[in-house]
């Protein structure tokens, strides 16, 4: 049954053309209004935990571009932070944490988890009352593997070698960390849904660095654990899985994890995307650099996706987050081209 929220309907399998659209990281540094709000917030974490400001920046791209979905403004690393790990963000370096070891994993506490995240839930509650009725509200979390990579290395790395090495050397401790993150992330998403989120997305930004066995153990199994838990409470709420860089492993990921829809990165070929779409909704997958470039490169990228995937359930999006240097005029051009498209 149609809900009047087009992204939600498409995630559940409906085909709509022109397709609905939103952008990953759509509330962010490419927007001048975001940069102004960020200055007022103090630190990035202060922005995430201030419901007034988090609501403001979540609404900014909706008010400017009229996207069909708003995604909660927060960060994937609020989960380990809520578990008691230190976290700070430095300009030019990104997130920084004290690297966790096997002993520290055993000591992670969950008693204050939801208390620490209450500002996030309050943001979701306020967003549901402030968004247009037709706008889908998306919650999210980071996948356990991706979150664990930052916890183990203490920062982002090109190939997540510290986390991979830790997993090989300390398999029991690493499994315990993934299980804990999966269970707490499932509860975190359930609270977001309870607060008003229509659907949720699980970001696995580093799934592409793993070999076959590790992908199954570190990416597929924890996400399946999250989805199974959510289904018991909210069987009809769509879950978008985004295993960036999964390549040929996208095939089978939906069935093995139980996610409703697949977020596709920009490297997924059109024909492969069309095959994946036969199993349900797909989301993506414009190269963010095409949006930076604009002009013919942007138009060709948009048209190719619409031509290939427009006859099935598609949520138009980028294949990863929008880059800070993206001109606003290029976003406007993309939105107009999608909105005015014809098959």
Report the length, in residues, of the chain: 343
Kind plus residue range of the DSSP H or E element containing 317: strand 314-318
CA pseudo-torsion sign 220, 74, 302, 324: negative
Q: Is 144 helix (H, G, I), strand (E, B) or coil?
A: helix
Work out the angle between the directed axes of helices 221-233 and 144-153 (0-180°, nearest 10).
Answer: 130
CA pseudo-torsion sign 56, 61, 67, 73: negative
Residue 341 DSSP class: -
pLDDT digits (tens, 9 = 90+) for 257-287: 999 999 999 999 999 999 999 999 999 999 9
Which of 75, 179, 183, 303 is flagged as catalytic? 75
The pLDDT value recorded for residue 93 is: 86
Is 98 among the domain residues? yes
* Cβ atoms of 127 and 137 closer than 8 Å: yes
- pLDDT over 70 (residue 1): no
CATH number for the domain that contains residue 18:
3.20.20.210
Active site residue 38: yes
Is 11 among the domain residues? yes
To the question of pTM greater than 0.85 for the whole model, the response is yes
Which of 30, 49, 150, 250 is flagged as catalytic? 150
Is 168 among the domain residues? yes
Is 71 among the domain residues? yes
How many domains, in total, are found in the chain?
Answer: 1
Kind plus residue range of the DSSP H or E element containing 42: none
DSSP string, 176-242: HHHHHHHHHHHHHHHHHHHHT-SEEEEEETTGGGS-HHHIIIIIIHHHHHHHHHHHHH-TTS-EEEE
Which of 29, 125, 128, 274 is flagged as catalytic? 29
Is 61 among the domain residues? yes
| Confidence label for 3 from pLDDT (cuts 50, 70 and 90) | confident
Q: Tokens 């230190």: give the residue.
A: 86
Is 179 among the domain residues? yes
Is 13 among the domain residues? yes
Active site residue 29: yes
Range of the domain at 76: 6-339
Task: Return all residues near 87 (Cβ < 8 A) that are at least 6 apart.
Answer: 45, 77, 78, 80, 81, 95, 96, 97
Residue 169 DSSP class: H
- pLDDT over 90 (residue 91): no
Which of 25, 126, 164, 225 is flagged as catalytic? 25
Active site residue 93: no
Task: Give the lowest-confidence range in 37-46, 136-145, 329-338.
Answer: 37-46
pLDDT digits (tens, 9 = 90+) for 199-226: 999 999 999 999 999 999 999 999 999 9
Which of 38, 85, 126, 254 is flagged as catalytic? 38
- pLDDT over 90 (residue 92): no
Query: CB 228: neighbour CB atoms within 10 A?
Result: 13
Is 1 among the domain residues? no
Task: Return the ∠ at Cα 80 (arms to 78 and 82), rounded to 5°.
Answer: 65
């Amino acid at each position: 049954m149609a809900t009047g929220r087009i992204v939600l309907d498409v995630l559940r399998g409906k085909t709509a053309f022109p397709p609905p659209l939103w952008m990953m990281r759509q509330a962010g540094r490419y927007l001048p209004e975001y940069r102004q709000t960020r200055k007022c917030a103090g630190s990035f974490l202060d922005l995430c935990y201030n419901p007034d400001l988090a609501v403001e920046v979540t609404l900014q791209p909706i008010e400017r571009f009229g996207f069909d979905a708003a995604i909660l403004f927060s960060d994937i690393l609020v989960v380990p932070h809520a578990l008691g790990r230190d976290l700070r963000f430095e300009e030019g370096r990104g997130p920084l944490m004290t690297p966790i070891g096997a002993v520290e994993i055993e000591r992670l506490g969950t008693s204050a988890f939801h208390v620490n995240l209450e500002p996030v839930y309050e943001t979701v509650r306020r967003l549901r009352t402030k968004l247009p009725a037709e706008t889908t509200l998306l919650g999210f979390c980071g996948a356990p593997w991706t979150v664990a990579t930052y916890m183990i290395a203490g920062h982002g790395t090109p190939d997540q070698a510290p986390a991979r090495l830790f997993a090989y050397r300390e398999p029991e401790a690493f499994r315990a960390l993934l299980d804990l993150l999966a269970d707490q992330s499932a509860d975190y998403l359930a609270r977001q849904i309870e607060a008003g989120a229509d659907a949720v997305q699980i970001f696995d930004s580093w799934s592409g660095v793993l070999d076959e066995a590790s992908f199954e153990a570190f990416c597929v199994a924890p996400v399946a654990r999250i989805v199974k838990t959510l289904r018991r409470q909210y069987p009809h709420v769509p879950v978008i899985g985004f295993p960036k860089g999964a390549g040929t492993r996208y095939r089978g990921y939906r069935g093995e994890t139980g996610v409703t829809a697949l977020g596709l990165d920009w490297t997924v070929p059109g024909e492969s995307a069309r095959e994946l779409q036969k199993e349900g909704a797909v989301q993506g997958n414009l190269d963010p650099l095409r949006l930076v470039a604009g002009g013919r490169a942007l138009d060709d990228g948009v048209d190719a996706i619409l031509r290939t995937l427009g006859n099935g359930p598609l949520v138009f999006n980028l294949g990863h987050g929008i880059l800070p240097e993206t001109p606003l005029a290029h976003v406007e051009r993309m939105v107009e081209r999608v909105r005015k498209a014809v098959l």
